[in-house]
Protein backbone atom coordinates (compact mmCIF):
# COMPACT_ATOMS: atom_id res chain seq x y z
CA UNK A 1 0.00 0.00 0.00
CA UNK A 2 2.83 2.40 0.81
CA UNK A 3 4.54 1.68 -2.51
CA UNK A 4 1.37 2.33 -4.53
CA UNK A 5 0.91 5.72 -2.86
CA UNK A 6 4.61 6.50 -3.36
CA UNK A 7 4.50 5.47 -7.04
CA UNK A 8 1.44 7.65 -7.68
CA UNK A 9 3.17 10.60 -6.02
CA UNK A 10 0.74 10.75 -3.10
CA UNK A 11 3.52 10.04 -0.56
CA UNK A 12 7.09 11.35 -0.61
CA UNK A 13 8.67 8.20 0.85
CA UNK A 14 7.95 4.48 1.25
CA UNK A 15 9.66 1.92 3.50
CA UNK A 16 12.59 -0.20 2.29
CA UNK A 17 13.46 -3.71 3.41
CA UNK A 18 16.21 -6.05 2.26
CA UNK A 19 15.95 -9.72 3.16
CA UNK A 20 18.29 -12.62 2.55
CA UNK A 21 16.79 -16.02 1.82
CA UNK A 22 18.97 -19.09 2.29
CA UNK A 23 17.52 -22.23 0.72
CA UNK A 24 18.82 -25.51 2.13
CA UNK A 25 16.41 -27.89 0.43
CA UNK A 26 12.87 -27.95 -0.94
CA UNK A 27 10.54 -26.43 1.64
CA UNK A 28 13.42 -25.58 3.99
CA UNK A 29 14.78 -22.06 4.04
CA UNK A 30 15.86 -19.31 6.40
CA UNK A 31 14.98 -15.62 6.04
CA UNK A 32 17.20 -12.93 7.56
CA UNK A 33 16.33 -9.25 7.58
CA UNK A 34 19.42 -7.40 6.34
CA UNK A 35 18.08 -3.83 6.25
CA UNK A 36 14.89 -2.03 7.20
CA UNK A 37 14.07 1.67 7.32
CA UNK A 38 11.17 4.08 6.82
CA UNK A 39 12.27 5.31 3.39
CA UNK A 40 14.30 8.31 4.50
CA UNK A 41 17.53 6.95 2.96
CA UNK A 42 16.03 4.94 0.06
CA UNK A 43 12.34 4.74 -0.66
CA UNK A 44 10.83 1.48 -1.88
CA UNK A 45 14.05 -0.39 -2.64
CA UNK A 46 13.55 -2.99 -5.36
CA UNK A 47 16.99 -4.54 -5.79
CA UNK A 48 20.02 -5.31 -3.64
CA UNK A 49 23.32 -6.87 -4.66
CA UNK A 50 26.25 -7.85 -2.45
CA UNK A 51 29.68 -6.60 -3.52
CA UNK A 52 32.48 -7.54 -1.14
CA UNK A 53 31.67 -5.93 2.22
CA UNK A 54 29.02 -3.69 0.63
CA UNK A 55 25.41 -3.98 -0.44
CA UNK A 56 24.33 -1.90 -3.43
CA UNK A 57 20.61 -1.15 -3.44
CA UNK A 58 18.34 0.79 -5.74
CA UNK A 59 14.75 1.34 -6.75
CA UNK A 60 12.74 2.03 -9.90
CA UNK A 61 11.75 5.60 -9.04
CA UNK A 62 15.04 7.39 -8.31
CA UNK A 63 18.16 8.12 -10.32
CA UNK A 64 20.57 7.15 -7.52
CA UNK A 65 21.41 4.10 -5.43
CA UNK A 66 22.34 3.47 -1.81
CA UNK A 67 25.58 1.83 -0.70
CA UNK A 68 25.39 -0.03 2.62
CA UNK A 69 28.28 -1.52 4.55
CA UNK A 70 27.72 -5.03 5.92
CA UNK A 71 28.00 -5.56 9.67
CA UNK A 72 31.05 -7.51 10.77
CA UNK A 73 28.85 -9.69 13.06
| Residue 3 is assigned to a structural domain of this protein | no
Is 46 inside a domain boundary? yes
Distances (CA, A) of 29 to 21, 24, 70: 7, 6, 21
pLDDT of the residue at 61: 85
Report yes or no on 1 lying in a domain. Answer: no
pTM of structure: 0.77
Q: For residue 65, is it within any domain? A: yes
Report in angstroms the alpha-carbon separations of 25 from 1, 18, 19, 21, 31.
32, 22, 18, 12, 14
What domain count does the chain have? Answer: 1
| Residue 23 domain boundaries | 15-69
Q: Map residue 3 onto helix, strand or coil.
A: helix
pLDDT number for residue 40: 92
Per-residue pLDDT of the chain (73 residues), as tens digits, is: 788 888 888 888 899 999 999 999 999 999 999 999 999 999 999 999 999 999 999 998 888 899 999 886 6
pLDDT at site 9: 87
Q: Is residue 7 part of a domain?
A: no
Does 10 reside within a domain?
no
Asked if residue 25 is part of any domain, the answer here is yes
> Which secondary-structure segment (H or E) carries 5?
helix 2-8
Q: Is residue 6 part of a domain?
A: no
Amino acid sequence: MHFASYAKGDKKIAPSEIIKIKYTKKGDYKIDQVYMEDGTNMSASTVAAPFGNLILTGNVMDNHFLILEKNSN
